Structure 1
Amino acid sequence: MRRVMTTLIVSSIAFVVGMASSIDSAVLRQAAAEFGVSEVAESLATGVYLIGYSRRLVEMVYISTLILFSIFIMASGLAPTFGAQVVFRFLAGFFGSTPLVCAGGSTSDMWDAVEKTYAFPIFAVGGFCGPVLGPVVGSYIGVGHIGSWRWTEWISLITSGLVLSLVILFQPETYAPILLKWKARHLSEITGDDRYRAELEITHTTFWTRMKIALSRPFTMLTEPIIILMALYLTVLYIVLFTFLDGYTFIFADIYGISQGLTNVIFVTMAVGMLLATVLVPPLFQLTKKDMESVLAKGGTHIDPEIRLWFAMLGGSLSIPVSLFWMGWTDFVSISIWSPIIASAMFGYGVICVFISAYMYIIDSYEVYAASALAFVTLLRYACAGGMTVAGISFYKNMGTHWTLTILGCISAPLVPIPYVFYKWGYLVRRHSKHAIARK
């Protein structure tokens, strides 16, 4: 239960920074009107936040970065000009990126290979619901008598303060080398024998040396086929995701004529789709458990990473293009509004399944290098997604919802085979990798 609580705390950090990334989209029109800029320009507040995510490559302490994140969210709420808002949102994203890189390591610290089958989805579903539920939280802010658009930032600030309290009070250290160092010090104190030393103490690696390794290692992953393909997969997925989120106003408000607030509430259907993915956890847990028993019987110690791809293969990768085509060609006023609503739930299911598979596959494939691998993947996907958030509105305005969603479906369709290809031949790719493990 302690490990579950710790995982949920890390997930809550990801939730609040994810919520802050999209909550501004709920009040795009109001913020643009106050600053006297176009809605496309105001979408930079979301775009630069995501780009700020991509700039964070060094693993930092959750508490310090969450404090700095809160400071710049507060500054965004107080921003007197559009330029100030954009700068502060970028810095908030910069310091809010810690869970994107560190969460995989924290999860691996606490859970073994079999346990991760249910532990990582606990983090992923909670964390990934943040960007989806952000507009829901901001649904009626700036509309009627429920405060100005700036209350989106105040809600993000209040939520981050609550999460920060949980981190300070309950988040334990999980990094094994640090725990061994503390244990060695404790044993020295109670025995009076100063010969107890942890590996971290006897390697004598300086802080700047560790910084140099941490900053440079993600870029050594540029030659890794697994990282290149998974980064491409997740980058396209995030481009599609955040462009898809731009379209809710055009689909539900412009076509079906519902209010801005109710349009934002419909985002909850994507979260419902993500929660549906949890039904895969029990059977996949049993599958992973049997695989581990088979490996141990043969004298092995680790399962093959390819078993993590089942989340994506069980409809996850296919659900994304299908839902996009479905929504793109059923969002007519003559067709029930429930058709695009159900399609968005299907999209949420596909997104979370692919995310879980991709992250767990990278973590298990690279083990000690997983944080560096995830850092590069994070850098690429959020930098691209940040740019597309701004361009997405123009796409919908100039091409219409039908063709924009069709194009997104066509972009994501060629990526459907990737998890199946890796499941079949991933072990061959790992054998020719400098950093990935090769066990099969």
Structure 2
Amino acid sequence: MQSFIQYRRIGLGVRKQLERDSEKSGFSFTQSRLPPHAQSTTHQETPSSSSSSNSANSNTSDSQRDSITSNEDEEIVEESHLGHTLTGIHVRDRTTHEGKGEKVFIVDWEGQNDPHNPRNWSVAYRVWITLNVALIAFVVGAASSTDTAVLPQAAADFGVSDVVESMTIGLYLVGFAVGAAFAGPFSETFGRNAVYIVTMFIFMIFIMASALAPNIGAQLAFRFLAGIFGATPLTCAGGSISDLWNPIEKTFAFPIYAIAGFIGPVLGPVIGSYIINLGSWRWAEWIVLIISAVVLGIIVLFQPETFPPLLLRWKAQHLRHETGNTRFSSEMEIIQKPLGSRLYEALTRSITLSSEPIVLSMALYLTVLYIVLFTFLDGYTYIFQEVYDISQGLTNVIFTGICVGILLASFLVPWRYIETKKSFANNKFVPEQRLRFAMLGAPAIPISLFWMAWTSYSHISIWSPILASTLLGYGLICIFMTAYMYIIDSYEVYAASALTFVTVTRYAIAGGMTIAGVPFYRDVSHHVVLSVLGGVSLVLMPVPYVFYKYGHVVRRRSRWAVSWDGGVGVEL
């Protein structure tokens, strides 16, 4: 709906611009204006016409032909002049790979304050759009963990073990990994909005199919497919935020998305905590479906398109229609890179960037954190039900402890925004400044894991592991926000490919480890498992500190990273 309204508004803007700028070129147009070749017609004689008549009219025909040719030449000159004088139009020759031919009028924004440029929309409107994207991330994230709240009931219904039923979570995460590899190129071909709406609709179909699954095989298959189509916000959200916010504004804009998206998996068990009271574990899927339908309605009715190349393509279409000149074109149209080529380029570049120290280190760090988070979904059952003997429903509600920690990290955002703004003002900003979030949160991960591992005894207050989980949530979101913003600033134009590798890696491995989490906690004990996870996170804890000090050296030696000269990203 909003995309249609947006398309109409761009058309009105084009008409106003032509009316205003055409005076400078002396070129007048009307909406019904035809291309030059359609305006030139000649009178044709029948073969039976007399030769004297042909002879008498020959001079007149020649004169008319010369006049028509002259008029066409004049119109071409006028149109070329219009292309040069219209604000935001860049006239250039076609490059070799674009084919030979006349000059092309590349359509761009009408100055820095063009109202159709998403970055010029009001702050309140851009926050609203960002929240809409965050809602999608919240829903698909919640769907990843809601099943943990009813895992014993679903396993009993299908006559399988808890380990087998936990595959519904693991395969969903693996589906995330598969879908993340394709979502980015699709959004760069069809636009963000179309991909959000279509994938969300298909995601809902497979969630509904999971709720109706007659056996464990069908449930596993449908959950995997739901994960594939639910992966869209994992890769496209970064692009949407870049469409809307400049590097300074992203300091507070990205946490809006990150916090809401990260809360999803944490609140999933809370949403499903008392589902069993409704009579069936299947209500875990029905509740997700209902929430998804509400979110999809919001996206369809209120979410505009934010992908600048597509918006400029719409503008070029209106210019061609209004002027009859086919040389108006956006970069997206003239390059005409097919979807298959985009997919191949995205996948191969993602693999290539996997050798980058920054990308590899952040991928490893986030993978460990996601293993901690999703195996925690299994560990909570053993800690609070087995040790503290509380109900299944209340155990799932205790996940709000992690949620509180995530929200506490939001209080750091205003401070980081002020610091980043000062750095840009003094031309001293470098991507490594983003790592201060992680430097404040990294120690919280091993501390919280060791704390929970060795204080979760029945003779110690239940509030001890709950507070430990709060500290864990704080550390997780600090590192998550840092990793994404640091990669985006370090690789800019190649950030999508780098983030694709990071996303695919962490969800594929975390999905496998989630399945292994149940026997680990059951056979080894939560004390040992949490201690091992704490030890691994302790080994990785220096990562943000190392890159804060030496990251600029790593970027300087990279063929893909960018240097920041005076607060401005410069490709190396």
TM-score after normalising by structure 1: 0.96
Residues 1:224 and 2:356 are matched in the alignment = yes
Show the counterpart of 1:317.
Answer: 442
Residues 1:107 and 2:241 are matched in the alignment = yes
Show the counterpart of 2:177.
Answer: 54
Show the counterpart of 1:87.
Answer: 221
Show the counterpart of 2:419.
Answer: 287
Structure 2 CA distance for aligned equivalents of residues 208 and 86 of structure 1: 29
Q: Which amino acid aligns with 1:32?
A: A
Structure 2 CA distance for aligned equivalents of residues 139 and 168 of structure 1: 30
Residues 1:8 and 2:116 are matched in the alignment = no
8 Å Cα contact 2:146/2:284 also seen in 1? yes
8 Å Cα contact 1:105/1:370 also seen in 2? no
| The one of 487, 491, 511 aligned to 1:386 | 511
8 Å Cα contact 1:18/1:134 also seen in 2? yes
Compute the displacement of 1:216 (Å).
2.3
Structure 2 CA distance for aligned equivalents of residues 29 and 166 of structure 1: 34
Structure 1 CA distance for aligned equivalents of residues 339 and 510 of structure 2: 33
After superposition, give the CA deviation of every residue in 1:248-291 in whole Å (9 maximum; x if it has no partner). Answer: 11011110011000000000111110000011011111100010
After superposition, give the CA deviation of every residue in 1:20-64 in whole Å (9 maximum; x if it has no partner). Answer: 000000001000000011111110010100011111211241111
Compute the displacement of 1:191 (Å).
4.5
Show the counterpart of 2:32.
Answer: none
Structure 2 CA distance for aligned equivalents of residues 113 and 280 of structure 1: 17
Structure 1 CA distance for aligned equivalents of residues 339 and 374 of structure 2: 37
SS of the residue corresponding to residue 435 of structure 1 reads: coil
Show the counterpart of 1:40.
Answer: 163
Structure 2 CA distance for aligned equivalents of residues 304 and 284 of structure 1: 13
Query: Which structure would you say has the larger Rg?
Result: 2
Show the counterpart of 1:210.
Answer: 342
Show the counterpart of 2:154.
Answer: 31
Show the counterpart of 1:361.
Answer: 486
Structure 2 CA distance for aligned equivalents of residues 33 and 184 of structure 1: 59
Compute the displacement of 1:192 (Å).
4.6
| The one of 382, 388, 396 aligned to 2:521 | 396
Structure 1 CA distance for aligned equivalents of residues 515 and 335 of structure 2: 47
Show the counterpart of 1:338.
Answer: 463
Compute the displacement of 1:210 (Å).
2.2
Q: CA-atom RMSD, angstroms?
A: 1.2
Show the counterpart of 1:233.
Answer: 365
Show the counterpart of 2:287.
Answer: 155
8 Å Cα contact 1:231/1:380 also seen in 2? yes
Q: Which amino acid aligns with 2:151?
A: L
Structure 1 CA distance for aligned equivalents of residues 386 and 420 of structure 2: 46
Show the counterpart of 1:304.
Answer: 430
Q: Which amino acid aligns with 1:290?
A: K
Show the counterpart of 1:349.
Answer: 474
TM-score after normalising by structure 2: 0.74
Structure 1 CA distance for aligned equivalents of residues 342 and 413 of structure 2: 37
Show the counterpart of 1:98.
Answer: 232
Compute the displacement of 1:201 (Å).
1.8
SS of the residue corresponding to residue 438 of structure 1 reads: strand
Q: Which amino acid aligns with 1:348?
A: G
**What stretches of structure 2 of length at least 5 have no aligned partner?**
1-123, 187-194, 566-572
Q: Which amino acid aligns with 1:171?
A: Q
Residues 1:415 and 2:540 are matched in the alignment = yes
Identical-pair percentage: 60
Q: Which amino acid aligns with 2:130?
A: T
Structure 2 CA distance for aligned equivalents of residues 347 and 199 of structure 1: 46
Structure 2 CA distance for aligned equivalents of residues 391 and 177 of structure 1: 44
Q: Which amino acid aligns with 2:379?
A: G
Q: Which amino acid aligns with 1:240?
A: V
After superposition, give the CA deviation of every residue in 1:57-112 in whole Å (9 maximum; x if it has no partner). Answer: 11241111111111110110000001111111011111100111111111111101
Structure 2 CA distance for aligned equivalents of residues 77 and 366 of structure 1: 41
State the number of aligned residues.
Answer: 431
Q: Which amino acid aligns with 2:290?
A: I
Structure 2 CA distance for aligned equivalents of residues 192 and 135 of structure 1: 58
SS of the residue corresponding to residue 459 of structure 2 reads: coil
Compute the displacement of 1:247 (Å).
0.6
8 Å Cα contact 2:138/2:260 also seen in 1? yes
